Structure 1
Amino acid sequence: MTLKSYLWGMRIAAILTFAVWVLILEQIDPDSSGIVGKIFFFASTFLFLASWFILFFTWLRKKFFGEENVLSHLGISFRQGALISLLAVGLLFLQSARILTWWDSMLTVAGVLLAELYFLTRK
């Protein structure tokens, strides 16, 4: 797969996930729909944020490392986009459960950083 086709696929996925996210925000009331509505909201938020962060990290690598090195780092961009999205959705979930405090936020960020450090240092 070429970088151009990968980026176009990710752009289309980002637009589709944004449309699904907006549709869920407009059509589903999380209070009246119960757990299913919340699952749809958090899943669509994760997919929306992940696609945009993956595109952003790929763009950063393309800008700083050049197009020829980006293909070898696509997995890293994908993982980092997914981890940052997981962090955001985790914080949103904690806030929706009304248990988010500053130290919970710091522990969640530390957990994501430790996961990324694990992936970077393993061979």
Structure 2
Amino acid sequence: MIILGTISVGLAVFLMGIDEQKALALGPGGPLMEDFWENMRRYGLYALTVSTGVLYSVFQPIVELLRNPISAILVLTIIGGSIFIVSQVVSAMVGFLGYLFGVTEMVWMAKNDVAFNDQLNVISIVKRP
């Protein structure tokens, strides 16, 4: 939390410290361009403060729960399980199924003449002559 806060404050100070320079626009669009870049700078600060506030409000209750050892174990178990489930779902969606077959499944597949085609993601029965 401290590192995230330090980075956010440093970025905010950097964005606020940018000196105001006149836009190098030609013709009557000059003042409009200056307003545009000023609004872009303000939007960057707005996005930074909103995202930092959201992260703070999300992580603050979790930090409070981590102070109690029993709730800390529960929170860490939930976070670890969530990461594991999401990684399994994303891997299955991408089509990486090679790790699903353990040693016992591979032995069973070898004994029963079953083959797995990685390119087609299919399991087929191999008939030997």
| TM-score scaled by length of structure 2 | 0.37
Higher relative strand content: 2
Q: Could you say which structure has the larger radius of gyration?
A: 2
Give the number of the structure with larger relative contact order, counting CA–CA contacts within 8 Å between residues 6 or more apart.
1
| TM-score scaled by length of structure 1 | 0.38
